[in-house]
Amino acid sequence: MSSPTAPTTSPAASPRCGGIFDLDGKRSRLVELERLTADPALWDDSRRAASLTQEAARLRDEIAAWESLTRRAGDAAELARLIDEEPDEAMSGDLGSELATLQRDVAEREVDLLYGDPYTDHAALLGIHAGAGGTDSQDWAEMLLRMYLRWAEAHRYSVDFLEESVGEEAGIKSATVRIAGPRTYGRLKAERGVHRLVRLSPFDSAHRRHTSFALVEVTPEVEDDVNVEIDPDDVRTDVFRSSGAGGQHVNKTSSAVRLTHMPTGIVVTCQNERSQQQNRDMAWRVLRSRLLAVQQAAHAQRVADLKGESLPAEWGSQIRSYVLHPYTMVKDHRTGLEVGNAQAVLDGGIDPFIDAYLSWAAGEGREAAPAVTQASHGPSV
């Protein structure tokens, strides 16, 4: 009985996959993480310590999984060689079964290709800003916030409110939340851009159809040691009394902090923490993350200019439409994916859109530049 031909290709495939997944780079990063987490001073910052230990654990699992696949592929190739020399029906059956299992396991690991961003496992700083349209757009912004909170709850991700500005009549003008868990930024980056809602307005006495817009910004939370140069003289700091949730404390002290980066116009507000210093520290972390996104966007634009490409302006681009009248549908304009059950999407069922975006981005060989703009204004769409 002749042996299958597939095993003879396994040893060649293994190094190729290792290159694609940059195992050497992952091993180097793990060594660096182990050095950092061995420093007792790290644990003075519990949030950073948790982030680094989680990243290290994920890398150990990935490296171990690929090393196991490499060994199994080598064993299968050796078994195929033995069968070629001395055919054995039982051994051939074992080889076929192992090859099928290997193919399945490799396909599962290939999902990692969709998460090549170095900030994949960082917490996501998600900001929502109502666009033009008054109360309808502010209500739409709150609907989007609810959608992401329900999505985070379904995935058991932790959520911290950093800022929320309530609308005059209904909804919110803006909100910023921190969502943390496995691959939160890697997944939520698919959501950045302008979201459009078409419905019969509950705020229009004539019940006419209205179109509302809201901007979703998503940036990765970065550590204090990330190389983002900020001149303190370029940042104006304002303190004021917090509003919203938080009990009586927020109304008694000027604990909320607003940072304005004057060269870019980026405004960051944090009012969730109990002390002014805690809010100041978190606001600086958010500002650093958004300025990193500015750098990434500038780099992406320079690359596009060199290639002669035209990148879409994320601030003004409409990525998804939610139609509630005269029919129901949610359509992503980048991937073409459509879902008829709009309510299920608004209840947090956005995973199909996220998965489609990641596959589309991988297939296109591109990564859209982050949406970065003045956080104090709504999208001009």
Q: Report the CATH number that the domain containing residue 278 is assigned in CATH.
A: 3.30.70.1660
For residues 108 and 227, membership in a common domain is answered with no
Q: Is residue 269 part of a domain?
A: yes
For residues 110 and 212, membership in a common domain is answered with no
Q: What is the CATH number of the domain that holds 30?
A: 1.20.58.410
Q: Is residue 1 part of a domain?
A: no
For residues 56 and 145, membership in a common domain is answered with no
Q: Is residue 163 part of a domain?
A: yes
pLDDT at residue 16, as a whole number: 42
Range of the domain at 146: 124-364
Q: Is residue 369 part of a domain?
A: no
Confidence class of residue 110 from pLDDT cuts 50, 70 and 90?
low
Confidence class of residue 369 from pLDDT cuts 50, 70 and 90?
very low
pLDDT tens, position by position, 48-98: 788 788 788 878 888 888 888 888 888 888 888 888 888 877 778 878 888
For residues 343 and 200, membership in a common domain is answered with yes
Strand blocks (E) in the chain: 124-130, 158-166, 172-180, 193-200, 209-220, 235-240, 256-261, 266-270, 318-323, 329-332, 338-339
For residues 342 and 205, membership in a common domain is answered with yes
pLDDT of residue 169 exceeding 60, the answer is yes
Taking the C-alpha atoms of residue 346 and residue 329, their distance in angstroms, rounded to an integer, is 11
Q: Determine how β-strand 318-323 pairs with β-strand 193-200.
A: parallel
Confidence class of residue 144 from pLDDT cuts 50, 70 and 90?
very high
Between residues 246 and 277, which one has the greater pLDDT?
277
pLDDT of residue 243 exceeding 70, the answer is no
pLDDT at residue 148, as a whole number: 98
pLDDT at residue 81, as a whole number: 84
- Is residue 163 within 8 A of residue 145, CB to CB? The reply is no
Taking the C-alpha atoms of residue 209 and residue 222, their distance in angstroms, rounded to an integer, is 41
Confidence class of residue 300 from pLDDT cuts 50, 70 and 90?
low
Mean local confidence (pLDDT), 321-335: 95
Q: Is residue 370 part of a domain?
A: no
For residues 231 and 340, membership in a common domain is answered with yes
Taking the C-alpha atoms of residue 378 and residue 53, their distance in angstroms, rounded to an integer, is 37
Q: State how many domains the chain has.
A: 2
